[in-house]
A and B are shown apart, each in its own frame.
Chain A
Amino acid sequence: MPEIVVESHPIDTVFRTDRLPHIFCPGCGIGPATHAYAQAILESGIPKDQHACVSGIGCTARVPGYMDVDSYHTTHGRSIPFALAIALVKPEMEVTVFSGDGDLFGIGGNHFIHAARRNVDINIICINNFNYGMTGGQAGPTLPLGARATTAPYGNTEPPFNLPYLAAATGAVFVARWTALHVRQLKEAMLRAMQKKGFTFIEVLSPCPVGFGSPNDIGDAIEEVWLYRERCVVNHDAYLPDLEIDLRRKDVPFVMGNFLDIEKEPFDPLAMMKNKGE
């Protein structure tokens, strides 16, 4: 049967189609991750008008602008304080922060650790493309050792953050890492995060052919995806300190999985105050 040319997609119900096509470069991993998020919204059983999507600034941070849910494109690094406020004032909302590694862990790092510590009931989806994509490929807090960026032309000398380890250590109740190619596992992890009360964290290793691929001699997006695919191992029980990503050491795999899934009382200061007054 030959292909049939059409004008719309069944997933369009979750998108603001008048804004499509999106601004992302060909093969950018933000697209598949957004698709997984849209699919998770559809399958979550939570009505669309009870989902909120919040971001800071960056390429990734453009995502809420395409979602047909309540969405907020906030200032650089400040997505988490906005999300926290929504979650506290409107507990019926399913609040998801969708933002980049630079936004969440560079300028916004302090918000992340304290929201995790308090176990605020929000989901964090971090597109980790190892660089500041939007502003021209600068080095960020996840750039692997030795990898090049426009501000690290001789190779990065700073040890990067190990994000799943950081999230688990600071208090998250669900922690996962997948690549942008693991769209099904990613969608399942997002669904689990939406079901859970408390602070959840999903890292998505994502190709950025422009900002990260090009200075690191990776030809195009598909080559970057193959590189991750070839080095990936899935180990849900991995020892989190071992999850560091080192591109130079071919003997060290990139470990994927749903690493942590625990129950803990979510942050609810309003309820605590009410109980005190009685």
Chain B
Amino acid sequence: MAAVLSRQPLDKATVSIPLGRIYIIPERCKGCRFCIDFCPRDVLVETTEMNAKGYHYPIVAEGKEDECIACQFCSILCPEFAIYTEEIVEEETAK
């Protein structure tokens, strides 16, 4: 049941939610799931594939391609420095 918002933030028209692009270094991942569990937008899931050491690294979940807000929490939390994100800038998205 989705709650219907009757009130909107005053600056809603001027504020845009950032969109992030996710970069992954699969061979560094040790499969701890921190990035998956603590992403505020539940953007990531484990791959079925394994890296050379047998760990399931994260990928973007189906249907969540436009959900990353580039908050970078996964990036700074990852114990292996195996994931980071960048905000996609306006001009680029306009193309």
Within 8 A of A (CB), among B72-87: 73, 76-82, 84
Cβ–Cβ contact A15 & B81, under 8 A: yes
Q: Kindly state whether residue A275 has any CB partner on chain B within 8 Å.
A: no
Nearest to B28 among chain A residues (CB) is A21
Give chain A's interface residue range (CB within 8 Å of chain B).
35 or more
Q: For residue B25, which residues in chain A have a CB less than 8 angstroms away from its CB?
A: 5-9
A31 to B77 alpha-carbon distance, docked (Å): 8
18 new A-B pairs (CB below 8 Å) besides A1-B22, A9-B82?
Answer: A1-B65, A2-B65, A5-B23, A5-B25, A6-B25, A9-B23, A9-B81, A26-B30, A29-B79, A32-B78, A32-B79, A35-B76, A35-B78, A35-B79, A183-B76, A221-B32, A222-B33, A225-B34
Q: Kindly state whether residue A10 has any CB partner on chain B within 8 Å.
A: yes
- 23 A–B contacts, CB within 8 A, in A order: A1-B66, A3-B58, A3-B59, A4-B22, A4-B23, A4-B24, A5-B23, A5-B25, A5-B26, A10-B84, A12-B81, A20-B80, A20-B81, A26-B30, A31-B78, A32-B77, A35-B77, A35-B78, A181-B77, A183-B73, A183-B76, A221-B34, A222-B32
Q: Kindly state whether residue A122 has any CB partner on chain B within 8 Å.
A: no
Which of A20, A26, A187 has most chain B Cβ within 10 Å?
A26
CB distance from B75 to the nearest CB of A (A): 8
Cβ–Cβ contact B79 & A31, under 8 A: yes
Interface residues of chain A, those whose CB is within 8 Å of chain B, are: 1-12, 15, 20-22, 24-32, 34-36, 39, 181, 183-184, 187, 221-222, 225
Cβ–Cβ contact B76 & A184, under 8 A: yes
Q: For residue B33, which residues in chain A have a CB less than 8 angstroms away from its CB?
A: 27, 222
A32 to B68 alpha-carbon distance, docked (Å): 20
Q: For residue B28, which residues in chain A have a CB less than 8 angstroms away from its CB?
A: 9, 20-21
From A1, A25, A26, A221, B55 is in contact (CB under 8 Å) with A26
Cβ–Cβ contact B76 & A181, under 8 A: no
Assuming the contacts A21-B80, A222-B37, asked whether A6 and B23 have C-beta atoms less than 8 A apart, the reply is yes
Which of B19, B23, B31 has most chain A Cβ within 10 Å?
B23
Interface size on B, residues (CB 8 A): 32
A9 to B82 alpha-carbon distance, docked (Å): 7
Cβ–Cβ contact A27 & B32, under 8 A: yes
Q: For residue A221, which residues in chain B have a CB less than 8 angstroms away from its CB?
A: 32, 34
Q: For residue B66, which residues in chain A have a CB less than 8 angstroms away from its CB?
A: 1
A32 to B21 alpha-carbon distance, docked (Å): 21
CB distance from A122 to the nearest CB of B (A): 24
Cβ–Cβ contact B23 & A30, under 8 A: no
Q: For residue A222, which residues in chain B have a CB less than 8 angstroms away from its CB?
A: 32-34, 37
Assuming the contacts A1-B66, A2-B59, A222-B32, asked whether A30 and B22 have C-beta atoms less than 8 A apart, the reply is no
A225 to B38 alpha-carbon distance, docked (Å): 10
Q: For residue B65, which residues in chain A have a CB less than 8 angstroms away from its CB?
A: 1-2
Assuming the contacts A32-B77, A35-B77, asked whether A1 and B60 have C-beta atoms less than 8 A apart, the reply is yes
Q: For residue A7, which residues in chain B have a CB less than 8 angstroms away from its CB?
A: 25
Cβ–Cβ contact A187 & B76, under 8 A: yes
Nearest to B44 among chain A residues (CB) is A3
From A3, A21, A35, A39, B24 is in contact (CB under 8 Å) with A3
From B34, B55, B84, A32 is in contact (CB under 8 Å) with B34
CB distance from B34 to the nearest CB of A (A): 7
CB distance from A87 to the nearest CB of B (A): 28
A7 to B25 alpha-carbon distance, docked (Å): 5
Q: For residue A24, which residues in chain B have a CB less than 8 angstroms away from its CB?
A: 79
Within 8 A of A (CB), among B26-71: 26, 28, 30-34, 37-38, 55, 58-60, 65-66, 68
